[in-house]
Amino acid sequence: MIVGVQKPVAEIISTVAPYKKLLILGCGTCVKTCFAGGEDEAAVLGSALRLAFKKDGREIEVEELTIERQCEDEFIRESAAAVARNDAVLSLACGAGVQDIARRFPGRPVLPGVNTSFIGVLEKQGLFTEECLGCGNCELATFGGVCPITRCSKKLLNGPCGGSRDGKCEVSSDTDCAWQLIIDRLKTLGQMDNLRTYIPPKNWQPSNAGGPRKLIREDHII
């Protein structure tokens, strides 16, 4: 899923300060699963904002609404009335959702309440880890299902570097060396020969480096 972290409350407070009527718009998909912006988080944030403003003797009306996803018009439509009756929207969706809301409701300031971080997995309860950066040209088959582009701090295709120590990356002892993981996995699979072959430079054109991307499915368009 897409993993994000709710912005610090102090930052949100100063972002929404100019508005008298605020809609906190939660999202029921990715940000719900990483506890950043689902219905529960929207409720807690609403309560926190009301308390924070009231304590300073300021007025703010906070409405909370959560829709299934903020990246599809089918669900976004459901929030139209709520958006219309508020001065601004604090979206707790990922960056894509914030932008889609802003696109559909250009007349309202749409502010982000979450710092979108990465595409990742829930490795175990309470631990989300980054796994994919969307390079557009997946080579996981070569690397035994461990991505060196995302999980090696230096994106090495012919790794490891000289900084790998006890299975950890030189950047942090909390970070696994992806190349240690690759080697261990390929050993288990009996595919260590994959690493004897020289891997040429990556073609970055299919990635965001080639420009913002589009996916068009002609077969879905009539």
Residues lying near other proteins in the complex (CB under 8 A) = 8-10, 13, 40, 43-44, 47-52, 54-56, 153-167, 170-171, 177, 180, 183, 195-196, 198-202, 204
Shortest distance in whole angstroms from residue 6 CB to other proteins: 11
| CA pseudo-torsion sign 144, 147, 152, 155 | positive
Residue with Cβ nearer other proteins (77 or 205): 205
Shortest distance in whole angstroms from residue 192 CB to other proteins: 8
Q: Phi, psi at residue 88, to the nearest 5°?
A: -155, 160
How far, rounded to the nearest angstrom, does the alpha carbon of residue 12 sit from its chain's CA centroid?
18
Strand-strand pairing, 168-169 and 172-176: antiparallel
Residue with Cβ nearer other proteins (80 or 208): 208
Q: Phi, psi at residue 132, to the nearest 5°?
A: -140, 135
Shortest distance in whole angstroms from residue 171 CB to other proteins: 5
Residue with Cβ nearer other proteins (62 or 111): 62
Considering just the CA atoms, what is the radius of gyration of the chain in Å?
Answer: 22
Shortest distance in whole angstroms from residue 212 CB to other proteins: 17
Q: Are 60 and 20 in contact (CB under 8 A)?
A: yes
Residue with Cβ nearer other proteins (108 or 202): 202
